[in-house]
Amino acid sequence: MDAHSPQLAPPSKTKALIDVWNVLEIRVLVMSSLGIQILLLCLAGFRKHFISSRWAETTDYSWKGPLYLMFHWVLWSAYLLADYVATVALAYLPNSELNNDKEKENQHLLMFWAPFFLLHLGGQDTITALSVEDNELWARHLLTLATQVGLALYHYISVNRKVGAFWPPAAIMFVLALFKYGERIWALQRASMSALRSSMISKPDPGPNYAKFMQQYTSSIAAGLTAQIIVEVEKHEDDLKRQKIKESAQSKPADSEKINTGEVKNHPRSEQTKESAQTKPADSEEINKGEVKNQPESEQTKESAQSKAADSEEINTREVKNHRESKQTKESAKSTGEVKNQGDPESPQTKRSKCCIFCWSKCSCKCEPISELEREKYAEIVCKAYKFFPTFKRLFVDLILTYKDREESQEYFEGLEYEGAYKLIEIELSWMYEILHSKASVIFSYKHYGWISRMSTLVITIVALILFITISHPQKKISDHSKYNPFDIILTYVLIGGACVLEVAACIFMLLSFWTYAAIKESGGCFVGLADFLFRIQARYLRRPENSRWSDKMAQFSLITYSLPNQPSCSKCNPVKCILYAIRMNDSWDQYRYASSVTVSEALKKQVFQELTKKVKSIEDRASYKRITEHRGQWALQRMGYYQEFGWSVEAEFDESILLWHIATDLLYNGKKTCDTEDKSISQDISNYMLFLLIVRPFMMPAGIGQIRFGDTCAEARIFLNNGDNIKIGDAAKKILDVSTDYDPGDVKGDRSKSVLFKGCLLAHQLEEQVTKYGVQWDRMWRLISAVWVEMLCYAASKCSGQYHAKQLSKGGELLTVIWFLMAHLGMGEQYRIEEGHARAKLFVDK
């Protein structure tokens, strides 16, 4: 080399790092793809139990909020990266390590990894779609399947132009990958809304041949014969049952009718003097039918109101006393750790029989095995859910039900307590989640397909592993072992071993599924004993009866808290807020920022179930089912005798009624010292939950201008509360309550502004007036408020489309969805469109 020629610079560290990365890149992608699949398999099943938002923070465990948020972020990232990593690795695979002949020989081994990337594109049984909208993209995945399979085959054949040593296991894995990816696309297509609806639509029913029947009738008349048509309508089995229930209810003594037991009783307020009784609707049967009538205006004297309150004071005092005694009993039982029963206290079964099998958190026997009776009850509910699910899943695609579906469901729910009813609903909603977001729509929809496919894929994977071990073993002379990188051989073992583990896990998940247990119990056969054994394991260790099948949370949003002047949403010169305001995201961020969540209490579930069963028992004809679902507070006010005083608040538009009762509830809860009862907590929880739905989930509520009213109300509240800093919610509530509402705020403000702040304050004043002026107890007022809120909640649930309910299943579920499904099982809702069936017309001809 010439002395004056330029010297080549030594390779820099950057180039060395790039070379190292070029060598490791495909291997990192391989391990990342496998790791993501394992992560999806482990985490996907827990998604329906966690709220997918930052408001998952609870008052008891503040660390759960960030944990839930991180969980859904990790799952979301893994789902999106799974397809991306596999696709990139498949495209990069033929271009890796082609620098020398030895690396080219090792390329044959690397190309054996191609079918595993296709296998990973097939996904796991526990998750196929992250949201309902992903199911609609099944055609895009079909195109991806065609392109990726073609690309993988082209690269494999181009590298292995001669028959390579690894072609037998590679061919097997290509077939398996093609099957798994095709199965995923099939599951996505079956879970799309159009396919779901098509699969559930029954065959067209033209009904009886009307034209032929009338032709016979006219022919008989034309022939001079006497023809007569007699029509007989299908009889309903529930008519006789409803009559028996009515007769048995009338035969019971009036003293045994209590609200706490779920039976409808006359409140002392309704037992009024003759003078006040004339101002109320006298026809109690119309009230039971759910008809709400406007009561005539009449003036009630203070003395008559006090006498009415005095009649109810004794009962209210007794109920408060019983509530305190029961609370003390629970506390003493919790401190001693014992749950006693009226039976033999030494018997383990009688010791635990009084403790409800669905409320294990209230007893101290979590470690004890479940008794045979409890397990049988749990198994019966699972089997009944399996029977009802094909019928009621049609609600998610807005299909109709028949009166026979109503009768069958009501017959079973009549004998259930609220715990069992909610558990059955939870199981059905859990299965609907699996239909929409996993391969359950393919695995469990066809008889024996799941077992055959999963056992076949497991056997095929094991065969591929055995073949690879045989080919790659150093002592075997099948291939030259020195050509291949030992680290790549280990990675290939990990890939095949990981595929085997994933297939084994899929078989275990299918074996332990409630789908499998219920299907075996329904069909019978020699596997019933094995199914019972596996169910005992699940009921004791994996899916104990007390474990909820959804998040069991309800979001909370308070208008007064949101409107406080010391909140960051109201602060000025905030750079983050300026950016959010510029992109028009400030309101959305504030709504999510000030939302929280609480656990759905057992008292709330019980009250909702009791209120719904009261309505069902009060129905006397089939037409009443439709009318009673239209009530959004009227029935509760009418039943308790307060429609004349507060009926105006529930006759307004629904979104306005929500805001009115939310403001009144918030003001009384935070601004007044009242009694502490379960009804008070229930009222506050439902009030905040309904406002959250109105503001953050408006698509789940009836159409209206709720967000406009909310914005105007918040603006007025912020102006009114903007006099002082660091004001607390209690002080803010008292300040609003101090405003006089002797004159209607709507008449003063006009209708340009839709604010209802002081109109809600007027409602709070009227509720408070019943206590201060007429001597009504606070616990009765809170019982009234909770009854109105429960009825509003049920009304909102019945008005939400099934598709929106389906979307929330992957986000931890909504209480609104649970109540909507419960109402359908109790026979309430707009989906029951067939009430009479076919008429049986007979033609009688006399000569």
Q: Is 326 exposed, middle or buried (0-12, 13-18, 19+ CB in 10 A)?
A: exposed
530 assigned to some structural domain: no
pLDDT by residue (tens digit) across 345-360?
Answer: 333 333 333 334 334 3
Q: What share of the chain is helix, strand, coil (3-state, %, to 5)?
A: 65, 5, 30
Considering its fold, how many domains does the chain have in total? 2
Which has the minimum average pLDDT: 602-606, 723-727, 763-767?
Answer: 723-727
Which has the minimum average pLDDT: 202-206, 358-362, 419-423, 573-577?
Answer: 358-362
Is the separation of the CB atoms in 459 and 504 below 8 Å? Answer: no
Q: How many CB atoms lie within 10 A of CB 353?
A: 17
pLDDT of 667 strictly over 90: yes
Please give the Cα distance from 817 to 426 (Å, whole number).
Answer: 10
- Two structure tokens written together for 148: 């990726």
pLDDT by residue (tens digit) across 451-498?
Answer: 899 999 999 999 999 999 888 775 554 455 556 788 888 999 999 999
Q: How many CB atoms lie within 10 A of CB 512?
A: 16
Please give the Cα distance from 12 to 19 (Å, whole number).
Answer: 11
Is residue 132 located within the same domain as residue 49? Answer: yes
- Predicted local distance difference test score (pLDDT) of residue 542: 75
Residue type, 416: L
DSSP letter for 600, please.
P
Please give the Cα distance from 111 to 159 (Å, whole number).
Answer: 8
Region 554-561 average pLDDT: 93
pLDDT of 672 strictly over 50: yes
Backbone angles phi, psi at 555, to 5 degrees: -70, 155
18 assigned to some structural domain: yes
DSSP-H helix ranges across 393-527: 403-413, 418-437, 440-443, 449-472, 486-511, 514-523
819 assigned to some structural domain: no
- Predicted local distance difference test score (pLDDT) of residue 104: 58
Is residue 504 located within the same domain as residue 637? Answer: no
Q: Is 687 exposed, middle or buried (0-12, 13-18, 19+ CB in 10 A)?
A: buried
pLDDT of 184 strictly over 50: yes
Which has the minimum average pLDDT: 40-49, 366-375, 403-412, 448-457?
Answer: 366-375
pLDDT by residue (tens digit) across 582-618?
Answer: 776 766 677 677 888 999 999 999 999 999 999 998 8
pLDDT of 314 strictly over 50: no
Please give the Cα distance from 180 to 230 (Å, whole number).
Answer: 59
406 assigned to some structural domain: no
Please give the Cα distance from 474 to 739 (Å, whole number).
Answer: 90
Concatenated DSSP letters of 512-530? T-HHHHHHHHHH-STTHHH
658 assigned to some structural domain: yes
Backbone angles phi, psi at 846, to 5 degrees: -110, 135
Model confidence, pTM: 0.80
The DSSP H or E segment spanning 597 is: strand 596-599
- Two structure tokens written together for 348: 């383990």
Strands 832-834 and 401-402: parallel
- Predicted local distance difference test score (pLDDT) of residue 172: 93
- Predicted local distance difference test score (pLDDT) of residue 480: 54
pLDDT of 252 strictly over 50: no
Please give the Cα distance from 566 to 718 (Å, whole number).
Answer: 10
pLDDT by residue (tens digit) across 148-164?
Answer: 998 888 877 777 655 56
Is the separation of the CB atoms in 120 and 60 below 8 Å? Answer: no
525 assigned to some structural domain: no
Is residue 455 located within the same domain as residue 580? Answer: no
Is residue 691 located within the same domain as residue 639? Answer: yes
Region 437-457 average pLDDT: 91
Is residue 496 located within the same domain as residue 597? Answer: no
Is residue 123 located within the same domain as residue 30? Answer: yes
Indicate if the alpha-carbon torsion angle 434, 438, 444, 450 is positive or negative.
negative
Please give the Cα distance from 745 to 758 (Å, whole number).
Answer: 6
27-43: b (≥16 Cβ within 10 Å) or e: bebbebbbebbebbbeb
111-123: b (≥16 Cβ within 10 Å) or e: bbbbbbbbbbbbb
Last residue of a domain, one of 511, 537, 568: 511
Concatenated DSSP letters of 178-220? HHHHHHHHHHHHHHSHHHHHHHHPPPP---S-HHHHHHHHHHH
DSSP-H helix ranges across 754-842: 757-772, 778-799, 802-807, 815-825
- Two structure tokens written together for 211: 């034209």
- Predicted local distance difference test score (pLDDT) of residue 194: 92
Residue type, 116: F
Please give the Cα distance from 51 to 783 (Å, whole number).
Answer: 30
- Predicted local distance difference test score (pLDDT) of residue 829: 83
pLDDT by residue (tens digit) across 17-46?
Answer: 777 777 788 889 999 999 999 999 999 988
Please give the Cα distance from 688 to 682 (Å, whole number).
Answer: 10
Residue type, 290: G
312 assigned to some structural domain: no
User: For the packed helices 114-121 and 486-511, what is the interaxial angle rounded to 10 degrees?
Assistant: 30
pLDDT of 53 strictly over 60: no
Is the separation of the CB atoms in 118 and 148 below 8 Å? Answer: yes
- Two structure tokens written together for 327: 């609370």
pLDDT of 816 strictly over 70: yes
Vertex 641: Cα angle to 639 and 643 (nearest 5): 95
Q: Among the ranges 412-426, 535-549, 560-574, which has the highest mean pLDDT value?
A: 412-426
**What range defines the domain where residue 154 resides?**
13-199+446-511
Backbone angles phi, psi at 196, to 5 degrees: -60, -45
Is the separation of the CB atoms in 659 and 691 below 8 Å? Answer: yes
Is residue 150 located within the same domain as residue 64? Answer: yes
Q: How many CB atoms lie within 10 A of CB 627?
A: 15
Is residue 794 located within the same domain as residue 657? Answer: yes
Give CA 220 to chain center in angstroms. Answer: 59
Is residue 641 located within the same domain as residue 782? Answer: yes
Last residue of a domain, one of 763, 781, 799: 799
What integer best gives the mean pLDDT of the chain? Answer: 78
pLDDT band at 342 (very low <50, low <70, confident <90, very high): very low
Is residue 68 located within the same domain as residue 189? Answer: yes
Please give the Cα distance from 798 to 828 (Å, whole number).
Answer: 8
- Predicted local distance difference test score (pLDDT) of residue 372: 77
Residue type, 298: S
Please give the Cα distance from 652 to 637 (Å, whole number).
Answer: 14
Residue 383: CB partners within 8 Å, gap ≥ 6? 518, 521, 522
Q: Is 176 exposed, middle or buried (0-12, 13-18, 19+ CB in 10 A)?
A: buried
59 assigned to some structural domain: yes
pLDDT of 274 strictly over 60: no
Is residue 499 located within the same domain as residue 561? Answer: no
Is the separation of the CB atoms in 166 and 480 below 8 Å? Answer: no
Is residue 451 located within the same domain as residue 590? Answer: no
Region 784-805 average pLDDT: 96
Last residue of a domain, one of 762, 781, 799: 799
